[in-house]
């Protein structure tokens, strides 16, 4: 290779890189749109199951909450399993498997006739959803350019509330026509749309390849994707001690050896955030229905909730890239707490809708920011495990969200009191975020190859 050609390779190809990032972020975004749709579509079906036993048998609020939680238990298990696997076998393989898995699970769920079978298949589907959520952030963070990592992750994880928004919108437009089974079948479309595209256009992370010692493969991927070689050689890794620099073990072993305290705090923070997300996405239509709104009107609130999450998170992610994600996540929790409290005031419909959009930023939007925070917090060899822990352990809160909401509704707790409980949880999330310790991550050197030599004067 000529010296000019070598310099071009080392500096990368900006146009090629932009196209690569667009494909990766686009595919990841669409995957998480279906991911969010699959998890939240159940909330649009709850009123049907509560009022008509001819579908899957008698369902009361407590059982409805339990059925909503089964998928989230699957997400927890799938995320924790996928975290270590993706740090060992690669992000791409796990993501492709997840696309196929949750698509087939949704199709199978559409043909159930009992609450028991419905719950089992929701759990099975959740395994694929968890694997995808746990791996996507790591892949995107490793391709995103410096100074844009939180933004790229925010765009990607906006797919979850966009999927929720899509579920609410399609429920308003199509649920009376195609029924609940048709709504679930829509969730299986990635099997014939997204998966074939991802097989062609989604590369493996060169940073992961480098961390596994597969230097030549990493360099080929870098050249094919237009990424500057110097950027991969300077990927951050946590090295607060010399032992940490030497110990590059992947997965949960390295995660809990070197990041125990922040990992626990980040997991609890995610659990609180997801409790709020799934409590609201499962029960907001029912709560607003009890406040006197029609079925389509109460689903409209779900639409606004997730629309506010997307727009708010995209704006806040720019602040996170500039000022650091920790402050922005804590502030977002605080904004959500205030907005939830204000929902107890008797307000005009327009003002109430605006508050619901702000609540979306403070709940689902905050969770988007949390994934970006976590994906940029850890070194490459444990990044997928870190995101998996955030998504998996955090699902304990997600499991609790529909259950807590169902118990509060079933107990006859006043509507205002339910909102006060949710606001208090948002305050707890902000406090947990604030005490996450900072981490110092200097760069590590690239393993020497026969084609590389120290530059003169270095």
Task: With cut-offs at 50, 70 and 90, classify the pLDDT of residue 231.
Answer: low
Q: How many CB atoms lie within 10 A of CB 240?
A: 14
Which of 53-62, 239-248, 352-361 has the weakest average pLDDT?
A: 239-248
Q: What is the model's pLDDT at position 337?
A: 93
Question: Bridge partners of 443?
Answer: 236
- Residues ≥6 apart with Cβ < 8 Å to 240: 258, 439, 440
Helix (H, G, I), strand (E, B) or coil at 443: strand
Segment 27-33 shows an average pLDDT of: 92
CATH number of the domain encompassing residue 108:
1.20.1250.20
Q: What is the pLDDT of residues 262-309, one digit of tens each?
A: 889 999 999 999 899 888 877 887 787 777 776 666 677 878 887 888
- Which carries the bigger pLDDT value, residue 46 or residue 2? 46
Any idea how long the chain is?
458
Helix axes 159-186, 149-157, angle to 10 degrees: 30
pTM equals 0.73
Q: How many domains does the chain have?
A: 1
Q: What is the model's pLDDT at position 230?
A: 57
Q: Tell me whether residue 47 is in a domain.
A: yes
- Residues ≥6 apart with Cβ < 8 Å to 52: none
- Residues ≥6 apart with Cβ < 8 Å to 402: 64, 65, 66, 67, 68, 69, 72, 278, 279, 282, 283
User: In the chain, what's the furthest Cα-to-Cα distance?
Assistant: 78
pLDDT at 428 over 90: yes
Distance CA 167, CA 174 (A): 10
Q: Tell me whether residue 455 is in a domain.
A: no
> Can you give the residue range of the structural domain that contains 204?
13-434
Helix (H, G, I), strand (E, B) or coil at 236: strand
Question: Bridge partners of 236?
Answer: 443
Q: How many CB atoms lie within 10 A of CB 46?
A: 22
Segment 248-275 shows an average pLDDT of: 82
Q: Are 358 and 337 in contact (CB under 8 A)?
A: no
Q: Tell me whether residue 103 is in a domain.
A: yes
Q: What is the model's pLDDT at position 294?
A: 64
- Residues ≥6 apart with Cβ < 8 Å to 49: 55, 56, 59, 64, 67, 180
Q: Tell me whether residue 450 is in a domain.
A: no
Q: Tell me whether residue 458 is in a domain.
A: no
Q: How many CB atoms lie within 10 A of CB 345?
A: 10
- The first and second tokens of residue 313, run together, are 């998170």
- Which carries the bigger pLDDT value, residue 143 or residue 28? 28
Q: What is the pLDDT of residues 36-92, one digit of tens each?
A: 888 778 878 888 888 888 878 888 888 887 887 788 788 888 888 887 788 778 888
DSSP states along 130-170: HHHHHHHHHHHHHHSPTT-HHHHHHHHHTHHHHHHHHHHHH
> How far is residue 264 from each of residues 179, 267, 268, 370, measured CA to CA in Å?
42, 5, 6, 14
For residue 216, report the phi and psi dihedrals to the nearest 5 degrees.
Answer: -65, -40
- DSSP letter, residue 451: T
Share of the chain above pLDDT 90, in %: 22
pLDDT at 237 over 70: no
Q: Tell me whether residue 313 is in a domain.
A: yes
Q: What is the pLDDT of residues 90-142, one digit of tens each?
A: 888 999 999 999 999 999 999 998 888 999 999 999 999 888 988 888 888 88
- Residue identified by tokens 């699902």 is 395
Q: Tell me whether residue 71 is in a domain.
A: yes
Which of 218-232, 254-268, 374-388, 390-404 has the weakest average pLDDT?
A: 218-232
Helix (H, G, I), strand (E, B) or coil at 38: helix
- Residue identified by tokens 């995610």 is 270
Q: What is the model's pLDDT at position 433?
A: 93
Q: Tell me whether residue 454 is in a domain.
A: no
> How far is residue 51 from each of residues 54, 55, 271, 286, 294, measured CA to CA in Å?
9, 10, 31, 12, 15
Q: Are 256 and 385 in contact (CB under 8 A)?
A: no
């Amino acid at each position: 290779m000529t010296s000019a050609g070598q310099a071009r390779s080392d500096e990368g190809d900006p146009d090629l890189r932009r196209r690569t990032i667009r494909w990766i972020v686009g595919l990841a975004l669409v995957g998480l749109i279906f991911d969010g749709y699959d998890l939240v579509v159940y909330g649009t079906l709850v009123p049907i199951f509560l009022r008509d036993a001819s579908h899957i048998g008698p369902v009361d609020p407590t059982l409805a909450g339990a059925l909503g939680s089964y998928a989230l238990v699957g997400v927890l298990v799938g995320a924790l399993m996928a975290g270590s696997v993706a740090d060992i076998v690669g992000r791409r393989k796990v993501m492709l498997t997840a696309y196929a898995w949750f698509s087939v699970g949704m199709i199978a769920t559409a043909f159930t006739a009992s609450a028991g079978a419905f719950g089992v298949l929701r759990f099975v589907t959740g395994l694929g959803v968890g694997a995808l959520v746990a791996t996507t952030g790591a892949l995107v963070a490793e391709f995103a350019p410096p100074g844009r990592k939180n933004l790229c992750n925010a765009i990607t994880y906006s797919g979850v509330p966009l999927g929720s928004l899509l579920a609410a919108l399609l429920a308003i437009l199509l649920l009376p026509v195609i029924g609940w089974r048709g709504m679930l079948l829509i969730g299986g479309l990635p099997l014939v749309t997204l998966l074939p595209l991802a097989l062609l256009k989604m590369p493996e992370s060169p940073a992961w390849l480098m961390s596994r010692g597969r230097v030549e493969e990493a360099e080929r991927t870098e050249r094919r994707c237009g990424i500057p070689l110097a950027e991969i050689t300077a990927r951050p890794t946590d090295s607060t001690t010399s032992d940490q620099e030497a110990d590059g073990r992947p997965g949960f072993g390295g995660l809990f050896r070197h990041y125990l305290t922040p990992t626990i705090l980040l997991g609890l923070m995610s659990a609180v955030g997801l409790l709020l997300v799934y409590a609201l996405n499962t029960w907001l239509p029912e709560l607003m229905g009890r406040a006197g709104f029609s079925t389509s009107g109460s689903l409209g609130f779900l639409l606004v909730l997730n629309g506010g999450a997307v727009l708010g998170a995209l704006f806040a992610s720019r602040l996170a890239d500039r000022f650091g994600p920790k402050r922005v996540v804590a502030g977002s929790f605080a904004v959500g707490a205030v907005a939830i409290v204000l929902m107890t005031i008797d307000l005009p419909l327009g003002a109430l809708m605006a508050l619901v959009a702000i609540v979306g930023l403070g709940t689902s939007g905050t969770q988007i920011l949390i994934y970006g925070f976590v994906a940029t917090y850890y070194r490459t060899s444990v990044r997928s495990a870190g995101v998996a822990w955030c998504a998996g352990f955090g699902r304990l809160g997600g499991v609790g969200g529909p259950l807590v909401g169902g118990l509060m509704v079933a107990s006859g707790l006043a509507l205002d009191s339910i909102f006060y409980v949710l606001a208090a949880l948002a305050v707890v999330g902000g406090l947990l975020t604030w005490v996450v310790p900072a981490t110092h991550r200097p760069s590590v050197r690239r393993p020497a190859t026969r084609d590389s030599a120290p530059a003169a004067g270095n």
